Structure 1
Amino acid sequence: MEIDKTQEISDCLQKAKSHLVKYGTSAVESSLRVQIEQFDNEDFVTFEVLKRVIEYLNNNTSDDKSSSKTYLHKLVKGSKIRLTKQTPTITKKDPKWLKLTEQLKKKMADEEYSKMVKNVVGRPRDEREAINSYKGQLGVGLDLVVTMATMFILFFTISQYIFEGENKTQNQMLFGLFGLIVGLLIDAILVIVRGEKYDIIGKQQLTHKNIATNAYGIETVPLEIRKKLAQARTQKKND
């Protein structure tokens, strides 16, 4: 804040300057004198400097009978006051701090995204996969039993027209067991083929891992877009 000089203010500054030249010895007093001299050729003085001048005069000239106390509100009466615009200093942010801030924002966005999709994607899919796995194992077991039983009955029936004599029943049983083994081999081959098929499907799903699915396995919004939305919400909250 700047105060236009009046005759009273100029006399007050000159009086303080003369007293400082004559008696001022400390660093504080020298600093005050330098500040007063900065406004010698100006038509104004700052409020802070004028306040220090009055305090100095009241504290150091009180023993002088010819001097009375100076009051700030009386001294500035009739003078114009100008408000100075202070331009804020913009300090450059540390790159390390900016990098750390970005990492924290990204981490918060990932955590928020995980919370968003936890109950939508995770649990139903896990439960569905567990049920499918159980059904698959049960189906493989039943399929194996049915295949082996079918092949045993088929080969046992065919052997009735092949073997004759006293050892006919034993030969039929052996031929039926042979059919059972053939059925076991056929089922094992089918299991291997199915496993390779599932591996191919799994690889295809990995190539499309950026596609999100809901609780029913239906493709929804891509993960990258959902992450950007979560980051935008987090940044909006921080602002």
Structure 2
Amino acid sequence: MAEKKPAILDWEEFQSVKNNQQGLMLKAKALAPWLIDIASANADALITIVLKPKFKDRKVEKNSHLLVQIDFILICIHWCDRVLSWHFEEDLRFVFFDALIVEIEHMLCKKVWDKKEKVAVRRDFERMLNSFQQEYANYNMVSEPLRDYILWRFGFRVLEHLRMKEDVNCAIHVRGPVLFAFEQLNFAGLLGLQKPAETCINCSASLVQSAKFCNQCGQKVTAAN
């Protein structure tokens, strides 16, 4: 796992690294431990702080907790892939994405000593990632903002893992930790995308220059921005 976690990653050390094949692979390798750490930490915060009152005396099963952590990792990967698709050609997009997945799988397998178990962990993660990507790719970014669709569906997905009823208020609470994870990762900063003074009218995040969508909430950038 990564070292002590800052509020928001600044990626200063990568400001001079170009977004070519070699540079993107370096950035992907650097992002992987932080993505796992930040996604897992926000999943933990959701369960132990935000949703804890809803559990009453019921304990969250270890496997359910793990599934929520994995889902937070998956949605962060999915979000990074969306940002890549907005700003890069397909070949460079997949250079970064593939390198990121390889590194994440490597880190997830570190705690497993048996070779057969390592293969199983990698296979299961790839299966879950492919399923997640397919499910959440069926979504039109232009017509439906991220927080009004993907995060809504994701919220109910998390509640299902925790064996909670489809409570609208609980589903809404899932959004905050997910958006905070996106903010902490500062993926636009890692890619070296320039940020102007303008901010998103939907979530107040700084907008990337010439971007069609906000990197934090997915809101389409309009003339009003």
TM-score, normalising length: structure 1: 0.22
Larger Rg: 1
Indicate the structure with greater helix content.
1
TM-score, normalising length: structure 2: 0.24
